[in-house]
Each structure stands twice: as structure tokens, then as C-alpha cells.
């Protein structure tokens, strides 16, 4: 078991990510830390990083190194992006960090930065084709993805800091300055010959400014789910956020819910760029990725094939969580086997789509994660954990459905929840009801966690479903558990359940 650390020395912020690698492929987040240094601001006329910024960066890196030492990190990967990439005193900065902190810095090219962004997104969001956009402090990366492959990529030297400083840091007519910025952006986009290939595609936003857009939108609509990863915003809502902000003074941004005080003074340049891309590419929605450069580097170290792509995002994510929580793998594998058989046999009364299978599988594989907090209330604890986990490969709707499938089903409880009407609808509640029954019966078939029931045979007739249990020894425990749901089974499916 080893621990890896990735340090991202960006133009606006510096970030540390520490993960523990389990079985060579699975990983667990150990710690992360962020510091706003803004290496890309106040550069000298010769293009050198300001001395005070260098000193602040070295202090931050010393804190990062100390944290790595306390966790016994075995490998540190430190990378720098646009501010260091274009700095005239790049070599001096790197040498000082090596001498004073003992950390080797690798300066990434724009294409390398885009590549790691690509790995982070395609391994954590279930998207086949999209335009990825990472807007940082001093650069913006665009990546065109088709069929999960990186078809085009480019890094251009403009970001939240540089755009704001160039167009909006001076006194004068703000609306006129914004018009100039918008025209500059269109001209920049025109220079990317392949960008129009992304017309109509989903835009996947990476970076702190993109997450800020999500926070503003979530606060505006009182969204009941705090996870920004895979959060969807319509192009109309992106335009509305930009239009509402461009009429405000930048000094007022700190009062806007979702904009942090550290980002308020540079956010207008970023949101103008984001809204500009949405309009330029006629995209229908913006999807937010919480994963970027650091996570992409982690994936490149975990996955040995090239390019390092996981075959199934959800399965990879569930495997991670199962390992992290130490859940009983053999039991879960057997329960999922039973569930798949039940779903196949019930196809006439339970038509299942791919996303329904994803919900059910997630519920089954994570159903025991609440036991670690206490037996007796594990369903309640599991609901809370599943709701708040980062489960890659699921939409927010699917994740909330999985959490409700695990909990003791109460239709009225779901309809009274904050999720109903904003994430879930009546059709979803009906599916949760059915999946909860499959979940209950499947788990009952291995109630003792001992693999007594080795297989099942199901026969569906006109008015009844016959479930034959194949077991190593008597199976009264399992039969008794299933008998408890017979009345509810008839109510939901309109058929009598017979267990033999």
C-alpha cells in the first residue's frame, strides 16, 4: 500500500491532493489542501514571477511537504501550469523550490495539461462526446472528446486573472469594457479552427470558476444536493447568471451566494469566457466536473493501459468504495447475481432501462456501508452515506434513487423530501418502490452472509411468480425473510409470490 501526492501549482491557486493506493488500482482520498497564491498576477514587465509571489509559493509548498511527510507519502508529483510555463524566471523558481523544499517541479505543456484534464473527466463522468473546458488563472484548455477519445486539444494563454486584468481592472465604462472582452473572446475562438466541431455538444466545465457557476445556480434554485460533480446547468441559465453579474459592480460579487471572497475579483473574466463558449458552440447545457488536472495524474498512475481509461466508470467507482469501506465482496457479488436474475424474470412487470440497473447495482454494492456507524440504524446511515458519496458514473437523480432504495421504503417520505420535484418525480418514486423490493428479496437470499443459497430459479406465470431456492442446507431463514414481503409484493406487482 502506497500513498501518492499531486501538487498543482496553478496561476491562481496551489493545490495538494493525497491518495492511498489499494491493491495497485483502487484509491482512497486521504487529504487535500488549497492556497490562493496567484503566481499569474503582478508579473514584471519582463514576464517574471513577482518575488513576493515566489516567497508565498515556497511557504505554501513547505506546508504541502510537511503534510506529505506526516502521511508518509511515498511519491510526490508536482506540476506547474501557465504562470510558470511562461515566466522568464521559470528556472530560478524551480531551482529555489528544489533547494529550499526538496520538491522537483515538472512544467507541463498546454497539451499535457489538457490531456490530464481529459483523463479526469472521461474516467469520472459517463460522457461519450463533449467539449471540455478548463479555465484557470492564466490559461484555458479546450479538449474535443468523441467516443471517449481525445480528438483535439489546445491551451490558449488567457484565464480568469489575465482576462479580468486586461479588460476590467481599470476605471471606466464597464459595459464598454465587457463588449471589448466579448469581442476579444469571439476572435480567440475563431482562431481555434476545430472548435465549431463541438457545436451542439455538452460543455464539461473544469476548474474553480466553473464550480463557482454551479454554486451560484444551486443557491439560486435551492438545489437540495451539494455535490457539484456532474451537475447540469442549461445554457439559458448560464447566460442569465452572466447577465445578472455584468450589471453589478465587481465589489458587490462577494455578496452573491456561491462566489467566494478569494475569487470575487477575478470571476467576471471567467464567467464572460464560459458564457461566450456556451453561445459560440450553441451548447445546450454545461456539465460541471470537480475533477481536473490532479485527478487526471492519479488516473495515469493507477491505470496501466494506454490511454488510461477505465472500461466502466460506475464499476470502477463502486469497486473503490467497496474497498475503502471494507465491505463483504463475496456477499455483494452473490446478492447482485440474485438481483439480475430477478430483474430478468420480472421483465413483464418490471421493464428496466440501463439507468435503473445502475441504480439497483449501486444500492446493492453500497448497502452495508452504514454498518460501520452502528448496527440497527444501518439503513438510515447507508442512506446518508450513499447520498453524500462521490459515485462516478451516476447522475444526481440516480444517486438519490439508489440511496432511497437502500432505506426502508416510504413513498410519502420521498414525496415530502427536498429531492422530490427538483430531482425526482412520481415516475422515479414508482421505480424506487419496485427496485426496493428486488433489493430486499436479493439480500434476504443471503441474509446470513454465508452463501447458503447458491442459486435461484424463477418461473413467471399468469397470476403468480414461483421462486425456487437452491441451497446447501435448509433455507427457512431466507424463506421467512421473503415471506414478510409477500403482501407488499402483490400490491406492487399484482402477482402472488411463491417461495419453494
Question: What pLDDT sits at residue 377?
Answer: 72
Residue 168 in this model has a pLDDT that exceeds 90: no
> Percentage of the chain with pLDDT > 70?
99
Cis omega (within 30 of 0) on the bond before 307? yes
What is 275-287 written as a DSSP string?
HHHHHHTT-SEEE
Nearest of 27, 21, 93, 31 to residue 66 by alpha carbon: 31
pLDDT tens sequence across 283-339: 999 999 999 999 999 999 998 888 899 999 999 999 999 999 999 999 999 999 999
C-beta neighbour count of 205 within 10 angstroms: 29
Nine cell digits for residue 244: 445578472
C-alpha 143: how far from its chain's center? 18
Question: What pLDDT sits at residue 408?
Answer: 80
pLDDT tens sequence across 26-81: 899 999 999 999 999 989 989 999 999 999 999 999 999 999 999 999 999 999 99
pLDDT tens sequence across 253-283: 989 999 998 899 999 999 999 999 999 999 9
CA-to-CA separations, 395 to 236, 388, 391, 405, in angstroms, rounded: 21, 13, 9, 15
Nine cell digits for residue 469: 431456492
Give the contacts of 448 (CB within 8 A, at least 6 positions apart). 477
C-alpha 114: how far from its chain's center? 18
Question: What pLDDT sits at residue 487?
Answer: 93
Is the model more confident about 144 or about 254?
144
pLDDT tens sequence across 441-467: 999 999 999 999 999 999 888 888 999
Question: What pLDDT sits at residue 461?
Answer: 82
Element (H, E) at 127: none
Distance CA 194, CA 198 (A): 8
Mean pLDDT of 21-30: 89
Question: What pLDDT sits at residue 221?
Answer: 95
Residue 156 in this model has a pLDDT that exceeds 90: yes
pLDDT tens sequence across 359-387: 999 999 999 998 877 766 788 899 999 99
User: pLDDT band at 1, cuts 50/70/90?
Assistant: confident
Question: What pLDDT sits at residue 376?
Answer: 67
Walk me through the domains of the chain, giving residue ranges and CATH numbers: 2-107 (3.30.420.40), 111-290 (3.30.420.150), 313-499 (1.10.3210.10)
CA-to-CA separations, 469 to 100, 347, 348, 444, 476, in angstroms, rounded: 68, 20, 21, 12, 10
DSSP-based three-state secondary structure for 13: strand
70 φ, ψ to 5°?
Answer: -65, -25
Mean pLDDT of 431-446: 96
pLDDT tens sequence across 194-230: 999 999 999 999 999 999 999 999 999 999 998 999 9
Mean pLDDT of 81-92: 96
Mean pLDDT of 339-347: 92
Question: What pLDDT sits at residue 281?
Answer: 97
The reported pTM is: 0.94
User: pLDDT band at 155, cuts 50/70/90?
Assistant: very high
Nearest of 228, 185, 188, 195 to residue 210 by alpha carbon: 228
Amino acid at each position: 500500500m502506497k500513498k501518492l501526492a499531486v501538487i498543482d501549482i496553478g496561476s491562481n491557486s496551489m493545490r495538494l491532493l493525497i491518495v492511498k493506493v489499494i491493491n495497485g488500482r483502487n484509491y482512497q482520498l486521504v487529504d487535500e489542501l488549497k492556497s490562493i497564491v496567484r503566481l499569474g498576477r503582478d508579473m514584471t514587465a519582463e514576464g517574471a514571477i513577482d518575488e513576493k509571489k515566489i516567497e508565498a509559493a515556497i511557504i505554501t509548498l513547505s506546508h504541502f511537504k510537511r503534510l506529505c511527510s506526516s502521511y508518509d507519502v511515498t511519491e510526490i508529483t508536482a506540476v506547474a501550469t501557465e504562470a510558470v510555463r511562461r515566466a522568464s524566471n521559470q528556472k530560478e523558481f524551480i531551482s529555489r523550490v528544489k533547494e529550499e523544499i526538496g520538491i522537483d517541479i515538472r512544467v507541463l505543456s498546454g497539451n499535457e495539461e489538457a490531456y490530464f484534464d481529459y483523463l479526469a473527466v472521461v474516467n469520472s463522468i459517463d460522457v461519450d462526446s463533449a467539449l471540455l473546458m478548463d479555465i484557470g488563472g492564466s490559461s484555458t484548455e479546450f479538449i474535443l472528446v468523441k467516443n471517449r477519445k481525445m480528438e483535439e486539444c489546445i491551451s490558449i494563454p488567457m484565464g480568469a486573472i489575465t482576462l479580468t486584468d486586461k479588460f476590467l481592472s481599470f476605471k471606466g465604462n464597464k459595459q464598454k469594457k465587457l463588449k471589448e472582452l466579448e469581442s476579444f473572446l469571439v476572435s480567440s475562438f475563431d482562431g481555434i479552427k476545430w472548435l465549431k466541431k463541438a457545436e451542439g455538444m455538452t460543455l464539461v466545465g473544469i476548474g474553480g470558476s466553473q464550480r463557482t457557476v454551479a454554486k451560484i445556480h444551486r443557491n439560486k434554485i435551492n438545489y437540495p444536493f451539494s455535490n457539484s460533480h456532474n451537475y447540469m446547468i442549461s445554457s439559458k441559465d448560464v447566460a442569465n447568471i452572466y447577465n445578472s453579474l455584468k450589471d453589478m459592480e465587481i465589489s458587490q460579487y462577494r455578496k452573491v451566494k456561491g462566489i467566494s471572497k478569494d475569487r470575487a475579483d477575478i470571476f467576471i473574466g471567467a464567467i464572460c469566457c464560459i458564457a461566450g463558449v456556451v453561445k459560440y458552440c450553441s451548447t445546450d447545457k454545461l456539465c460541471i466536473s470537480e475533477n481536473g488536472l490532479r485527478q487526471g495524474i492519479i488516473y495515469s498512475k493507477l491505470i496501466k493501459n494506454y490511454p488510461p481509461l477505465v472500461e466502466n466508470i460506475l464499476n470502477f467507482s463502486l469497486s473503490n468504495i467497496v474497498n475503502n469501506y471494507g465491505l463483504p465482496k463475496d456477499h455483494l457479488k452473490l446478492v447482485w447475481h440474485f438481483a439480475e436474475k430477478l430483474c430478468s424474470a420480472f421483465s413483464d412487470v418490471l421493464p428496466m432501462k440501463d439507468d435503473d440497473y445502475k441504480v439497483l447495482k449501486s444500492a446493492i454494492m453500497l448497502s452495508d456501508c452504514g454498518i460501520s456507524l452502528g448496527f440497527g440504524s444501518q439503513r438510515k446511515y447507508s442512506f446518508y452515506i450513499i447520498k453524500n458519496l462521490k459515485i462516478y458514473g451516476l447522475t444526481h437523480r440516480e444517486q438519490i434513487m439508489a440511496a432511497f432504495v437502500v432505506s426502508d421504503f416510504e413513498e410519502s417520505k420521498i414525496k415530502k423530501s427536498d429531492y422530490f420535484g427538483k430531482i425526482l418525480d412520481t415516475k422515479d418514486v414508482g421505480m424506487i418502490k419496485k427496485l426496493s423490493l428486488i433489493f430486499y428479496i436479493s439480500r434476504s437470499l443471503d441474509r446470513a452472509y454465508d452463501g447458503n443459497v447458491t442459486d435461484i430459479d424463477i418461473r413467471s406465470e399468469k397470476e403468480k411468480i414461483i421462486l425456487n431456492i437452491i441451497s446447501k442446507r435448509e433455507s427457512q431463514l431466507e424463506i421467512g425473510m421473503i415471506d414478510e414481503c409477500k403482501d407488499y409484493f402483490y400490491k406492487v406487482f399484482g402477482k402472488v409470490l411463491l417461495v419453494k
